[in-house]
Amino acid sequence: MSSDDTPSDPDPAPDSQDSPVVGQAESGQKILQFLQRRLNLPPTLLHRWIRTGQVRLNGGRCKPFARVQTGDVVRLPPFALKMAAQSGAVPARTTDAVPEPPARPPALGASAPLPPVVGAEGPVWALFKPAGLPTHPGTGHSDSLATRLAGHYPQAAFKPTPAHRLDKDTSGILLVAATFAALRELQEAIRQRTLVKEYVVWVRGRWPWPEARLLRHQVRKGLERGFEKMRAVLSPAGGERAREALCLARPLRVREHESLLLIRLFTGRTHQIRVQLASLGHPVLGDVKYGPPGQRVGAGPMYLHALRVILPGGRVFACLPDWGGEHAVDVLPEVMPATAEHCPELLDDKAFPLAMNEDNYNLLH
């Protein structure tokens, strides 16, 4: 008898330590994702366990990309929990309940508090991420919103997870999913552009266009002094992979040497707003990476703030930035419509070009 014809094992006792039951918050994941989140072990190892039948779904063999549903029983190898404990995953007991957003403001003096909750729509939470806090851990830093969420909900079978990201020095609305189904729905809405994201940003220079303008660029990743940096290109060279970046920009205040803009994103490229504005000669105030040479790290905040998110169903989450002095924003601007009436460029393909000429393009690069 081949391994694929191995008869199913009897169903294990429900919710035993080595046979966890899939909770509501975890439903919809591929079993490989389920195991990664539960056990925090290498995907190659988990894949081998599934392929060799050491992991069973409802008593039977399964494929690594089979999706688990609420109430499914996943049998683990007898040594899996010990290996998971050594990796720092899975507390002795977990709860299948869908996590609730924190009801109180973060405690003063807390070493790793969660950001304030702006609002919630079922398992979708909107948090006010402060500038300086990364969305995810990375090289050189372990503290992040994702790790704080995991630490705040250690008993949750599915840890509340950021549904998108904001740059470390960008403040504002960041959506968190408390269930896997909510995470998939949010990410699909972002892909389909049915989720609206608006930002406010102070830029250098006098913004010359009084009306809303659609900005269209081609952007690609490159290296500068050994560090990754996004670049806008006039046209991709033969082997370069560039992706289109689109956003709508409308001025809110215009001064001689700086301007406040409202930005509506249509694509979500890395550092998109910062790269597009810098390429037009109007870098974000306080942007050390894409601003003019000579800016000192830590000299001041980066004036880019995720102002508002509108879910596909119409629920709005918004929060003003905590900027002070002459850069304070005290009134929530109206939502910027993206219709043919307000933005004909969206339909007639006459978006503002990357740069007026090569000199303008090379100004900050």
Query: Which are the catalytic amino acids?
Result: 167
Summarize the chain as % helix, strand, coil (round to 5). Answer: 20, 25, 55
Residue 20 is encoded by which pair of tokens?
Answer: 């966890």
The per-residue b/e assignment along 226-262, b for 16 or more CB within 10 angstroms, e otherwise, is eeeebbbbeeeeeeeebeebbbbbbbeeeeeebbbbb
Residue 47 identity:
H
State the residue for tokens 């408390």. Answer: 178
Cβ atoms within 10 A of the Cβ of 283, count? 24
Q: How far apart (Å, rounded) are the C-alpha atoms in residues 270 and 284? A: 15
Residue 86 identity:
Q
Structure letter (DSSP) for residue 4: G
Judge contact between 172 and 145, C-beta under 8 A. Answer: no
Nearest to 157 by CA among 203, 98, 202, 204: 98
